[in-house]
A and B are shown apart, each in its own frame.
Chain A
Amino acid sequence: MRPLPLAMALALIASPALSTTIEVTIDKLVFSPASIQAKVGDTIEWTNNDILAHTATVKGGWDVMIPPKSKGKVMLKAAGAVDYFCRFHPNMKGHIEVAP
């Protein structure tokens, strides 16, 4: 494979519009980090290490199913702060601040 030209590689790194994937881990019914900062277009990816299915659910918003020992993800489409929780275990809570 040929390496990317330097200028292009730098542009990719520096570009403010480039969206990223933010990883959140679930272990023993805890989202960590529990609170994250993201921007519109970013993807949140949850890795569930538990033997139980969980969800990441925003009331009146998105709902992501995260099967046991598996992953789930969502692309953030709107700016603002959201609280999310697990529908199966509502004591599991997370928070995302989405910048425009």
Chain B
Amino acid sequence: MFMRPTATLAALFFVSTVPLALAAEKPTDPQIAHIAYTADAIDIEAAKLAIKKSKNREVVDFAKDMERDHEAVNKQALDLVKKLKVTPEDNDTSKALAKAAKEERAKLAKLKGAAFDKAYIDNEVAYHKQVNGALETLLIPSASNAELKSLLETGLKIFQGHEQHAEHVAGMLK
């Protein structure tokens, strides 16, 4: 399950639950770039694990789609920060994301077969949902550079697509 990381991220991310904390923590563009890159990199790591461990064709195909898309997005993000001369800056949100992801990977690494497949896909649904929430309520509204904002907006559409794709695969595993 994803109980503890969910609680941590929810506290960091969801404006509706913690409006005051967020008002004080509005990220800067270098921080937003770092958060977005970290969020992508986490999903690539999870995908690599699934490609290695899963024997389920649908799950492996999904993981390959995630790896391919997120690598393409991160390449574009790196090109943009280079062009804008922005140096991505590590921050508490990135750190919380990375920590939660590490815990999730450790949990997944212990599972096998159908139990792994289900845990991976369920986490993909939850993870994309969380990142979408963060993009919509925090990262996109906070971005000041127009190109960065536009990249995040496209990123949101991609993540929303992945969330639906993951839900579809989850439905097939049942």
Chain A residues within an 8 Å CB radius of B69 = 52-53, 88
- Contact-residue bracket for chain A: 10 to 19
Which segment of B29-37, B101-109, B112-120, B157-165 sits at the interface?
B157-165
Verify A89–B72 contact, CB threshold 8 A.
no
Contact pattern, B 128-169, Cβ under 8 Å of A = 1, otherwise 0: 000000000000000000000000011001101110110010
User: How many positions in chain B have a CB within 8 Å of any CB in the partner chain?
Assistant: 17
Write the chain A residue with the least CB distance to B154: A28
With A29-B157, A29-B161, A53-B68 as known contacts, state yes or no: A90 contacts B76, CB within 8 Å.
no
* Most chain A CB atoms below 10 A, which of B69, B160, B161: B161
Residues of chain B touching chain A, judged by Cβ–Cβ distance below 8 Å, are 65, 68-69, 72-73, 75-76, 153-154, 157-158, 160-162, 164-165, 168
- Residues of A in contact with B (beta carbons under 8 Å apart): 28-29, 51-53, 68, 86-92
Of all A-B residue pairs in the complex, the 7 with the closest CB atoms, nearest first, are A89-B161, A90-B164, A29-B157, A91-B161, A51-B72, A28-B154, A91-B160
Could you list 14 further interchain pairs (A-B, Cβ under 8 angstroms) beyond the known A29-B158, A51-B72, A86-B161?
A28-B154, A29-B157, A51-B73, A52-B73, A87-B165, A89-B160, A89-B162, A89-B165, A90-B161, A90-B164, A90-B165, A91-B157, A91-B164, A92-B161
